[in-house]
Amino acid sequence: MSAIKAKHQRLVLLVIALLALIGAGLLAAYALKNQAAYFYVPNDLVANPPEQGRAIRLGGMVEKGSIKKAADGVTVHFIVGDGKARIPVRFTGITPDLFVEGSGVVAEGRMEGQTFVADNLLAKHDEKYVPREMKDMTAAQAKQVVAETK
């Protein structure tokens, strides 16, 4: 009888300890919510404009049709948007392979006037994995191709 009671006591104690632990973890994660973000989205920068020249990261989608190469051949201008706000970006250097229109990008740099001047570009891959041959197809078309090749 006493053995069962001791086991019961340990279980209750452990459940309480676990709840406290999870609570502490959640509180810490919640407190980190804004500090642990790796980058700001354009809407954050519009809502809370950072100081000019302070080093920050800007992340979002490269707007379709917005990439323009300057005459010098190494400077690119493009617009990063998040569906709510859009910010023009200037970058001089070699862009990563995955830097394409309609895809995610993280730019490291600073605001100069209304333009974000980036010293470094990182491409962000989304969660989709699609073979090259199927990239322009809709899901239904792709399914048909797969069915035909079987």
Q: In the structure encoding, which two tokens stand for residue 21, read together?
A: 């632990």
Given 79, 89, 106, 118, the residue binding another protein (CB under 8 A) = 106
Amino acid of residue 52: Q
Cβ closest to another protein, residue 35 vs residue 71: 35
Cα(77)–Cα(134) distance, rounded to whole angstroms? Answer: 29
- Which residue pairs from 5-11 have beta carbons closer than 8 angstroms and sit at least 24 positions apart in sequence? none
Given 11, 16, 47, 70, the residue binding another protein (CB under 8 A) = 11
CB of 71 to another protein, least distance (A): 24
Q: Which residues are within 8 A (CB) of 100 and not within 5 positions of it... i.e. 6 or more apart?
A: 62
Q: Are 142 and 128 in contact (CB under 8 A)?
A: no
| Per-residue binder mask for another protein (CB under 8 A), 36-75, x = binder | xxxxxx-----------------x----------------
Q: Would you count residue 126 as binding another protein (CB under 8 A)? A: yes
Cα(55)–Cα(53) distance, rounded to whole angstroms? Answer: 6
Q: In the structure encoding, which two tokens stand for residue 130, read together?
A: 């699609």
Burial class (CB in 10 A: 0-12, 13-18, 19+), 91: buried
Cβ closest to another protein, residue 72 vs residue 127: 127
Q: 14-43: which residues touch another protein (CB under 8 A)?
A: 14, 17-18, 21-22, 24-25, 29, 32-33, 36-41
CB of 114 to another protein, least distance (A): 22
List residues binding another protein (CB under 8 A).
7, 10-11, 14, 17-18, 21-22, 24-25, 29, 32-33, 36-41, 59, 96-100, 103, 106, 120-135, 142, 146
